[in-house]
Structure formats: structure tokens, C-alpha cells
Structure 1
């Protein structure tokens, strides 16, 4: 049995970091008309993606030279040319300050070296084992709180919790420590804007994970942390600083994006009842339903890269030192690649793959785990909530946000 280290709360226990989550999400009801307008201007447009939707100043990036890259082919050129469009300079002053020496802030050759080790811990056959042992108990526990009621808010009562509780289970976190863990995970993001609670939270999570790694190496199990702490490639393990930085980022990169992706998946199906019925009748449709949800409303609409040299995209010049707003949402709704791109259609042609998980060397390492979680959550909902439908007496779900997209509520009814 692992002897768990204790988490230490922020000194100012009244401080609420979750307000940051609201600010980062934004409240834009639909950014896609503007995204389509920008894409029509060309593959490279001067300015900041964020400034298209909010007047809230970007204290970290707002003063830097920025362009937006839009459209599927242009975005793919950015993502798949890491020698020109780099991660390190793009993220070292935001994600790097929050999480530390994480692989998101690395470029080749060091990124290539460490990613090989991470990938071994996230192999599909390894991740699949966690479905029954880790994901299912979390899903069942959350559903038990509303399954006898005949109605629920699937976001407030389910999707907003289960990916985070999967992480808690992987960490073997005691339930009493979960609120502090979540608070610190969100608070560390504030490092990028200079708030003192940011580095305080990062340091306290670092101390916790450092102690946890010692225990996992002493007494490894089959969980994610044990795999990461002990996995080797060519005799090399992950250095503690790289692994601790990854674990700091896991709550945000793993929990938050899966919560958003699952919420959008359920919203798409429930607002298209004929597609929900088709998936309920044939579970082999689940993979393409997940892919369509990720294409239609990917959890993250835009990410950054840094131009390490003078270059061009489709004849449009980009100067060295420019920060690239790589608008993933414009690629996933590019009408040249996807017919009727604003429509949710699980039966559409899949000849062009979406890039909600990005592409190139920084393709999301955790995509297999995200798919396992989304698949098992949807199967449980279809199995245990018969005649699932939107609650006609409550507002319809409204997906909001310019950067991170999700509905706040998903009120449903079902037969008890």
C-alpha cells in the first residue's frame, strides 16, 4: 500500500483560483462566424486570436508580435514543421512558468528523447487496462448519485467531475485531499501572470509529486504514476524534474480537455436524437461519434508556436520572432476539407482526420486515454439511462467560449 504524502493548501485559504478558469474560457457563444471570416482573408492574418473575442488584456502575450494561421493546410504546415515553428519560445513564459520543464515546452532533440519514454507509458494496450480498473468505478460512483432520479445535469453531476476523479484514482489520492489538489492545479496557472499563488501552488504540487514518486518506485502498481516512474527506453528513465512537470500539467491537459470533449460529445448527440439513437443501437459507431465531436467543437480552439526563422505559409511571409496563433478550430471546420463543417454529423466522410489532438511531434500523448474515458462514459450512459433526452422544461445546452469550449449545463431526463 502506497504511503501518500500530504498536500499543503495555499497560505491564503480564501483565495479562489477557479475564477481564472472562467476568464480563460471566455463567454463567446459562437466564435465560428468570425473564424470563417478570418480564414476567408487568407492563411495568415495579422493580430491575436484572443483579441477577436475579448477586451480582457493578455498580460503575457499581448505586447508580442502575433499572427493567426488559419485553414487546414496552413495549420498543418505549422504543426508539422517543428524546426521552423517551435514550442519552447512559444510556451516557456506561460506553461513553462506554471508547470516547469514539461515536454510541451521542449523541442527536438530533447523533446524526441523524452517523448519516446512517455509514449511507452501511454501505449494503447497499457491505457486499455485502466478502463475497467480505474475509469469504470469512477463513472459508476458518479452515476449512482442521480440514476434513480430520472433527471440530471450531466455536466454539473457527471462530466465536470469524472476525468478529474480518474486522475485522483491514478494518483491514489485520498478523497479528503481532492479539493486542495484541484485548487493547486488551477492556481499554478497564475504563475504566467505574476500572481504569487502561482509559484506557491507549483512548488507545493512539486513537493507532493516528488514524495509520491519515491513511494511509487518503492512499491509500483499498475497505475499511470507507477508506469511513468518506472518506464524505461534504452535504459533511460524520465528525470524527476521532467516527470514532476508533466504531472503538474496532467490535471489541466488531461482532466480539463476530457471534461470538455465528453460534454460536447453528449451535447452533439442529444441535440441530434437520430444520431444518439443510432449510436445506442450500434456501439461500433462510438469511435466516429467521438471523432466528430472533437472535430466539431474541439476542447482547444487555438494554440501557439514561435517562428524561429523568416518563413512563409502559402506565399504569405512570416518574420522570425513572430508568435503564431495556430487556430485549430479553423482547420477542423475548413469547408475545403469537411462538407457542411458547422454541422454535427457522425456519418460524415472521415477521409480527412481532425486535428483536435494537434499533429506532428507534439500530437497529444494522452489521446488514447481520452478516448478510453469518453468511450466508457458514453457506454455507461447509454446502458444505464434508458430513453435519454434533453429536458424540455430546461434551457437547451449552449456551448460557450472563444478558447476553451463547453456548455455550462446539460439538463436531461431518462426513464428510471
Structure 2
């Protein structure tokens, strides 16, 4: 049996990385009027997406030449031309410092080799099995804490916890180490802005996963790390440094995005009670509700690429060395692709798919797991919280942020069981 390594906390245990992270995502109540205004002017606009919504200087990227790319066609062009618009240079100064040699920071041919192996580990049929064995027990355990009360804050008591606890279960982490794990996972992101807690957290998570991986290779089990350690494609397995870097990123890429996606899904349905009623009456509408929530308020509003050669986007010249703010939120609310794009409508007839999980070779590896988790969470809530509605005595939910949007609270009432 594996003896779980002990995670070391930050030296300064009073340091709160969550406060710093919250500052970086902003408190903008609605970035879309500005996004629409920019997109109406041009699909390519000089400047930084971040600086449209904050006066706080960007110490990390502010000195670099940047353009914003807006609208579905322009964004898709960037995402699907990786030989021109590269990941490595775009993310090496930030995510590379935090996570190491992760697939997000790779380009072909290295990225192609390793992604092929990861894709085998996250095939839909593999992920579907985790729904019942891993996701459902976590969801049920969390709901037991409030199901008897007839009221809850679904953000603070549920969505902010369950995707991360799914990850803890997948790697067989001792629940007592969960808070330290979460803290280190967030703190490592601070490497990109020069705070010493960033590399400290990355080092401690790296040491933890290196030892855990050694143990799992010697005594594999049904857990995710054993699975990743042994999966292969074309006779090749994942090298330790690539796997450890992926595991460092898992908390952020897997947990955080699902937390935001589920929070937005529940908020959207509860603030559109007619559509919530339709989903309650017909659960086959859940996939459409999830896709519409991802389109309407995707987990990430903008991502970066690096222009490696002189080129053009929609007829606009782009110089080599330019950093591209690829505004996914603009693509997903492009009125030419999604009529009345600011309206949440699970019955909308889409002619194109949303880009919430990006597109091209860097399409999110964990997208199938995110959808499984969102589906399982919503089904459990509808099963066990009858007459679900917003709490009229509490403030209505407000989705905030310019980069990673989510409501801070979602107060609800329901018939207690």
C-alpha cells in the first residue's frame, strides 16, 4: 500500500495566495460591452486585453508588444494555426515558471508526441467511468453538509470544493492534506509575478509528486497517477518531468475551470427559472445547458499566443514577436455566429461550437472530464434539492471578473430532505 508523502506548507504559513489570485482576475461586473465595442471596431486591436479593465500595471507582460484578436473567425484562425501562433514563447515566462515542462508550454513536434499519450489517458470512455466511481461520492459527501437545511450557498459550500476534491480522490490524496495542496497549487502561479512563494510552492509540489510517482510506478493502483504513469502511445510513456509538470497544473487547469464552469451553469439556470424548469422536466437538455453556459460565460475569457513570423489576421498585418491576446469571450459572443449573444438560451440552434475549451492542437485535454463533472453535479442537485430557487432574502448572484469570471456567492433555498 502506498504511504502518501507529506506535503510541506509554505514557510510563511500566514501568506494567503488566494487574495493575490483574486486581485489578478479583477472585479469587473460585465466586460462584454467593452468587448463588443472593441470587436465592432476591428478583429485586431493594438494593446492588452487585461489593461482594458484595470489600471494596475502589468509587470509581467506590460512591456511586450501585444494585440487583441476578437471575433469567432479571427480567434479560431489563431488557435488553429500553431505553426505561426505558438504556445512555448507565450507561456514559458508565466505558466512555464509555475508548472515546468507541461504540454501547455510545448509546440509540435514535442507537444504532438506527449499530447497523444495524455489523450489516451483522458478518453471519453475512461473519463465516464470516473463519473460514478470518483465524482458521485465527492458530490454526495459535500451535499450531506447542507441538504438537511433547505438553504445553502452553492458556491461556498459546493462548487468551490467539489472539483478539487475530485482531484484529491483521483490522486488518492489524504483529505487532511487537501487545504495545503490547494494553497500550494494556487501559490505556484505567483512565480510569474516574481513573488518568492511561487517557486517555493512549485518546488514543494514537484518533490511531492516525484516521490508519489516513484511509489505508484513500483505499486500501481486504480488511481489517476498510476494510470498516467503507465499509459502509452506508440510504445512511449510520459517522462517523469512532463508528468510531474502536468500534475502541478492539474489543480488549476482541472479544478479551477470546472469550479467556474459549474458555478456559472447553476447561476444561469437559477436566474432563468423557465429554463431551469425545462431542464428539471427533461434531463436530456442538460448537455445543451452545459454548452450554453460554457459559451455564455466560459471559464477563461482570454488566452495568449506568440506570433513567430510576420503574418496577418483577417487582413491586418502582425509582426513577428507580437503577443496575441486571443479573446475567447469575444468569439463565444460573436453576434455573427450566435444571434443575441448576451442572452443565455439553452434552446439556441448553434451552427458552430463554442471555443470555451479553445480549439486546435491545444484543445483542453480535460474537457470530457469537465463535462462529466458538471453533468453529475447538476443531476445530483436536481435529484436532491427539490423546488430549487434563489434565496429571495439574499443578494442575487453576480458574476464578476475580466479574465476568470465567477460569482462569489449563490444563495439558494429548496425543500429540505
Query: In the aligned structure 1, how far is the partner of 2:81 from the partner of 2:223?
Result: 34
Aligned counterparts, 1:225-374, within 5 A: 225-374=225-374
2:102 aligned partner: 102
Decide whether the 8 Å contact of 1:292 with 1:345 is kept in 2: yes
Query: In the aligned structure 2, how far is the partner of 1:234 from the partner of 1:113?
Result: 9
Query: In the aligned structure 1, how far is the partner of 2:215 from the partner of 2:125?
Result: 25
* Post-superposition CA distance 1:19-49 (Å, at most 9, x none): 1221122100000000000001111000000
Query: In the aligned structure 2, how far is the partner of 1:171 from the partner of 1:227?
Result: 10
2:175 aligned partner: 175
Query: In the aligned structure 2, how far is the partner of 1:341 from the partner of 1:325?
Result: 21
Query: In the aligned structure 2, how far is the partner of 1:96 from the partner of 1:51?
Result: 23
Query: In the aligned structure 2, how far is the partner of 1:323 from the partner of 1:234?
Result: 34
Query: In the aligned structure 1, how far is the partner of 2:98 from the partner of 2:170?
Result: 22
Please state how far the C-alpha of 1:147 moved relative to its aligned partner: 0.2
Please state how far the C-alpha of 1:223 moved relative to its aligned partner: 2.2
Please state how far the C-alpha of 1:257 moved relative to its aligned partner: 0.4
* Post-superposition CA distance 1:39-98 (Å, at most 9, x none): 011110000000000011211101000000000000000000000000000000000000
Q: Does 1:382 align with 2:379?
A: no
91-100 or 223-232, larger mean C-alpha shift: 223-232
2:212 aligned partner: 212
Query: In the aligned structure 1, how far is the partner of 2:56 from the partner of 2:169?
Result: 36
Query: In the aligned structure 1, how far is the partner of 2:24 from the partner of 2:109?
Result: 32
Query: In the aligned structure 1, how far is the partner of 2:368 from the partner of 2:315?
Result: 36
Please state how far the C-alpha of 1:174 moved relative to its aligned partner: 0.9
Query: In the aligned structure 2, how far is the partner of 1:332 from the partner of 1:79?
Result: 14
How many residue pairs align between the two structures?
Answer: 416
Query: In the aligned structure 2, how far is the partner of 1:355 from the partner of 1:98?
Result: 25
1:138 aligned partner: 138
Structure 1 counterpart SS, 2:342: coil
Structure 2 counterpart SS, 1:312: strand
Structure 2 counterpart SS, 1:180: helix
Please state how far the C-alpha of 1:222 moved relative to its aligned partner: 2.3
* Post-superposition CA distance 1:195-219 (Å, at most 9, x none): 1111111011000000111121222
Query: In the aligned structure 2, how far is the partner of 1:314 from the partner of 1:15?
Result: 46
1:157 aligned partner: 157
Query: In the aligned structure 2, how far is the partner of 1:332 from the partner of 1:408?
Result: 23
Structure 2 counterpart SS, 1:255: helix
Q: Does 1:413 align with 2:409?
A: no
Q: Does 1:78 align with 2:99?
A: no
Scaled by the length of structure 2, what TM-score is found?
0.99
Query: In the aligned structure 1, how far is the partner of 2:351 from the partner of 2:37?
Result: 25
* Post-superposition CA distance 1:155-208 (Å, at most 9, x none): 000000000000111111112111111111011011111111111110110000
Query: In the aligned structure 2, how far is the partner of 1:116 from the partner of 1:20?
Result: 35
Decide whether the 8 Å contact of 1:24 with 1:404 is kept in 2: no
Decide whether the 8 Å contact of 1:130 with 1:223 is kept in 2: no
1:37 aligned partner: 37
Please state how far the C-alpha of 1:110 moved relative to its aligned partner: 0.4
Query: In the aligned structure 1, how far is the partner of 2:45 from the partner of 2:153?
Result: 40
Query: In the aligned structure 1, how far is the partner of 2:382 from the partner of 2:220?
Result: 35
Please state how far the C-alpha of 1:225 moved relative to its aligned partner: 1.4
210-219 or 133-142, larger mean C-alpha shift: 210-219
* Post-superposition CA distance 1:244-282 (Å, at most 9, x none): 000000101110000000000000100111111111111
Query: In the aligned structure 2, how far is the partner of 1:255 from the partner of 1:239?
Result: 23
- Ranges in structure 1 where 5+ consecutive residues have no aligned partner: none
Query: In the aligned structure 2, how far is the partner of 1:295 from the partner of 1:219?
Result: 42
Query: In the aligned structure 1, how far is the partner of 2:176 from the partner of 2:146?
Result: 22
Structure 1 counterpart SS, 2:45: strand
1:192 aligned partner: 192
293-302 or 278-287, larger mean C-alpha shift: 278-287
Q: Which runs of 4+ in 1 moved over 3 A?
A: none
Structure 1 counterpart SS, 2:152: strand
1:224 aligned partner: 224
